[in-house]
């Protein structure tokens, strides 16, 4: 009906003139409906509805100098942390921000370049990086960047310690079953979570006086787990594997079967992430249930605090990762050295 020649969306001025008020009044209405006299409010309300008016967010952003948008950056190709993102998204929403997920291809430096570009384009107010990035010295960034703790090491304390603790718990559990000789198939070493788990694994092995036949650097893939097992010498004596995550664990199990080792009869395998398939695989996977929702919430809270210049919240409620014991772990075979 009231379309302009160009068929453009209605502007605040059109609303104002239809309502018989000034554009300022409409603007006030948009920000706080109660600051208007009831009679005026009704007029504006009517005009907004009649013209099907939606404020142009680009114009608003330009004037207010903030976009109310956050970006979450992750490496394309890497596993997609769906639950974390959902929680992060919801948390950001509650804080008044829109979230946009940017999947960046290429290596670490390419990603960093893209993040830098994003940071300075004026399009987002903060960035949460879920993939490892290398921000070299030159960063005079305009917006806060939070690198999630469970994926890199800038976010001390958020989830790192938790990661560490559980690896130790896993090893201790396996020891309690009788295992003495271990293997760790680590994740990609540019991820801090992978580095942390690996170093805690090594520490624990040393402190408890156990034997490790290696801590193999993988890339989070099932293939890397498979390769790690199939390339072991026959007489290595390993009876328990701590895998970087559930997918790697699946590869480890398949590799073990391919050499005639039964799981868990000859080899126990522990995963990480509690993915759906782990519960239904055969054998089902012992794993670590990670509170991804809490991680997502915490990361966004931290980011929002940085944006607003508020004190950074302490990760008071430590994320609680729960060990889940299923079929892939059992006591070692009788013949194993102890």
Partner DNA sequence: GGATAAAAAGTGATCGATCCACTTCTGAGC
Partner DNA sequence: GCTCAGAAGTGGATCGATCACTTTTTATCC
Selected binder of a copy of itself within 26, 242, 243, 250 (CB under 8 A): 250
- Residue closer to a copy of itself (CB basis): 8 or 156: 8
Closest CA to 334 of 286, 266, 269, 238: 266
Can residue 2 be called a binding residue for a copy of itself (CB under 8 A)?
no
> What's the distance, CA 286 to chain centroid?
22
Residues 21-80 that bind a copy of itself (CB under 8 A): 52, 54, 56-59, 61-62, 67, 76-80
Q: Which does 25 bind (CB under 5 to 8 A by kind): a copy of itself, DNA, none?
A: DNA
Give 15's Cβ-side CA count (13 Å radius).
Answer: 29
Question: Could you tell me whether strands 287-289 and 322-324 are parallel, antiparallel, or unpaired per DSSP bridges?
Answer: antiparallel
Residue 36 near DNA by CB under 7 A: yes
| 68 interacts with DNA by CB under 7 A | no
Residue from 1, 5, 7, 63 that binds DNA (CB under 7 A)? 63
Give the one entry of DNA, a copy of itself, none that residue 67 binds, where binding means its C-beta sits below a cut-off of 5 to 8 angstroms depending on kind. a copy of itself
Candidate residues 18, 28, 218, 255; the one interacting with DNA per rule CB under 7 A:
28
Among residues 288, 216, 286, 289, the alpha carbon closest in space to that of 250 is found at 286
- 3-class SS letters over 108-174: HHHHHHHHHHHHHCCCCCEEEECCCCCCCCCCCCCCCEEECCCCCCCCCCCCHHHHHHHHHHHHHHH
- Choosing from 40, 165, 221, 284, the residue that interacts with DNA (CB under 7 A) is 40
Q: For residues 117-176, which are near a copy of itself according to CB under 8 A?
A: 117, 120-123, 140, 142
Binding segment (CB under 7 A) for DNA, from list 10-18, 137-145, 199-207, 318-326:
10-18
Residue 138 Cα to chain centre, angstroms: 26
**Residue 90 in the binding site for a copy of itself (CB under 8 A):** yes
Residue 276 interface partner, choices DNA, a copy of itself, none, CB cut-off 5-8 Å depending on type: a copy of itself
Q: How far apart are CA 338 and CA 333, in angstroms?
A: 11
CB 53 within 8 A of CB 46: no
Report d(CA 229, CA 251) in Å as an integer: 9
**If DSSP codes are grouped into helix, strand and coil, which group holds residue 290?**
coil
Q: How far is the CB of 55 from a copy of itself (least distance, A)?
A: 8
Q: What DSSP element (H or E) covers 246?
A: helix 246-258
The residue within the footprint of DNA, chosen from 2, 3, 49, 59 (CB under 7 A), is 59
Q: Which stretch binds a copy of itself (CB under 8 A): 82-90, 178-186, 286-294, 306-314?
A: 82-90
Q: For residue 227, with 0-12 CB atoms within 10 Å meaning exposed, 13-18 middle and 19 or more buried, which class applies?
A: middle
Which residues of the shown chain bind a copy of itself in the complex (CB under 8 A)?
A: 9, 52, 54, 56-59, 61-62, 67, 76-80, 82, 85-86, 89-90, 99-103, 105, 117, 120-123, 140, 142, 221-222, 225-226, 247, 250-251, 253-254, 257, 276-277, 279-282, 284
Which residues of the shown chain bind DNA in the complex (CB under 7 A)?
A: 8-9, 11-13, 16, 20-28, 30-31, 35-37, 39-41, 53-56, 59-60, 62-65
């Amino acid at each position: 009906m009231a379309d302009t020649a160009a068929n453009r969306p209605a502007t605040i001025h059109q609303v104002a003139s239809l309502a018989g008020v000034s554009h300022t009044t409409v603007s006030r209405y948009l920000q706080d409906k109660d600051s208007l006299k009831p009679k005026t409010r009704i007029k504006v309300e009517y005009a907004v509805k009649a013209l099907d008016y939606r404020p142009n967010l680009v114009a608003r952003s330009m004037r207010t100098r903030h976009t109310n948008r956050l970006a979450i950056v992750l490496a394309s190709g890497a596993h997609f942390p769906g639950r974390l993102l959902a929680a992060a998204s919801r948390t950001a929403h509650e804080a008044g921000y829109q979230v946009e997920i940017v999947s960046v291809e290429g290596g670490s430096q390419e990603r960093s370049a893209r993040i830098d570009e994003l940071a300075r384009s004026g399009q987002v107010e903060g960035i949460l990086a879920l993939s490892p990035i290398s921000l070299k010295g030159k960063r005079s960034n305009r917006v806060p960047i939070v690198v999630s703790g469970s994926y890199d090491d800038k976010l001390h304390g958020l989830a790192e310690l938790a990661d560490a603790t559980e690896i130790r718990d896993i090893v201790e559990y396996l020891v309690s079953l009788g295992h003495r000789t271990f293997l760790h198939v680590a994740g990609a070493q540019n991820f801090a979570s992978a580095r942390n788990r690996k170093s805690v694994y090594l520490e624990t092995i040393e402190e408890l006086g156990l034997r490790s036949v290696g801590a193999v650097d993988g890339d989070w893939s099932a293939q890397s787990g498979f390769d790690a097992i199939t390339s072991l010498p026959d007489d290595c004596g390993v009876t328990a594997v701590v895998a970087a995550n559930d997918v790697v664990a699946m590869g480890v199990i398949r590799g073990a079967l391919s050499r005639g080792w039964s799981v868990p009869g000859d080899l126990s395998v522990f995963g990480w992430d509690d993915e759906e398939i782990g519960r239904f695989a055969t054998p089902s996977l012992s794993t670590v249930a990670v509170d991804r929702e809490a991680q997502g919430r915490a990361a966004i809270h931290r980011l929002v605090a940085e944006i607003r210049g508020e004190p950074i919240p302490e990760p008071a409620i430590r994320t609680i990762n729960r060990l889940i014991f299923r079929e892939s772990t059992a006591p070692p075979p009788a013949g194993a050295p102890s």
